[in-house]
Structure 1
């Protein structure tokens, strides 16, 4: 096995749950779409592995690839407007072995109602990233991250309580 293959396997084992969770948030709780998008992220990681310069940690680098892949997918989806939001919400799987509790489904649906950047931020918070890491990934000041996350949490609470 080559060094590149071994490195990729290590990255995959360590990062796939985070990648899947981020994609799940972007795909508004649709596990099938999230898995497909996660595979696309992994392909992008493999293709970019030789370009990693070590200016950040692998985890930060993987977040950036995941975010960029998700945003590209959303932009393509908006351009083609294949599926109406109601159809997407109906497509959320009801398989008990997936992440699925009623609360988590509701949370992912609520997260799906946020704008792209807010979805990214809250998914990083849910993944346990600290504000400094989020700041580095997003390229914004840590104080701005705190303010944005506070506002996002208030918005999510309002969505969950009132179904907006």
Structure 2
């Protein structure tokens, strides 16, 4: 298989998860998430020869995605506004957002309130990335990761149910 086909296969495998990870950093703003996803895979292509295989390819790609999102947030000082709570409580007509969309918006709003590191952890977890891969990507021991994820889930549950 030539390098272009390998890259296409890699892209098709990881692009959806990278997009969702970026979407979390972009507070649900689709255009920004797509931009960061594209930038991530441009970097993956440009630096493909620097991948040494010390970690899994997924760990390497997720680290590039995280660094891309955080770097752009720092560089541009982009600040995403938390979702307006009135949007979540205003009755909608049948052509507008569904209850599931509202729940997703509320979840992103709560995720936005987390620290940068906790946000990274929960976004990777929500993408069903194995905890061992998350631990390797972030440099946290597996036991410490499980404890932190448990605390993050409790905080998110509290935020989603109580709005805080």
TM-score class, shorter: 0.7 to 0.9
Structure 1 position 67, deviation (Å): 1.1
Residue correspondences, number: 153
Give the gaps of 5 or more residues in structure 1.
none
Measured in 2, the distance between the counterparts of 1:7 and 1:130 equals 23
- Residues 27 and 84 of structure 1: CA distance in aligned 2, closer, same or farther (over 3 Å): closer
User: What is aligned with 2:38?
Assistant: 39
Contact 1:4 1:49 in 2 (8 A): no
Instruction: Report matched runs for 1:1-164 at 5 Å.
Output: 3-78=2-77, 83=79, 85=81, 89=83, 101-164=101-164
Q: Quote how far apart the aligned CAs of 1:96 are.
A: 7.3
Specify whether residues 112 and 12 from structure 1 end up closer, same or farther in structure 2 by C-alpha distance, changes over 3 A only: same
Runs of 4+ aligned structure 1 residues displaced above 6 Å come to: none
Q: Deviations over 1:67-121 (max 9, x none)?
A: 111111121233xxx55625xx36xxxx979xx7211121112112211111110
Change (3 A) 1:84 1:132: closer
Q: Which moved more, 1:13-22 or 1:58-67?
A: 58-67
Q: Distance in 2 between matches of 1:84 and 1:148?
A: 25
Higher-Rg structure is 2
Q: Is the 8 A contact 1:112 1:119 kept in 2?
A: yes
Give the TM-score taking structure 1 as reference length: 0.83
Q: Which ranges in structure 2 are unaligned for 5 or more consecutive residues?
A: 85-94
**Contact 2:73–2:79 (CA<8 Å) still a contact in 1?**
no
3-state SS of 1:140 partner: coil
> TM-score, normalising length from structure 2?
0.83
Which protein has greater RCO, CA pairs closer than 8 Å, 6+ apart? 1
Find the residue that maps to 2:65 and give its secondary structure: helix
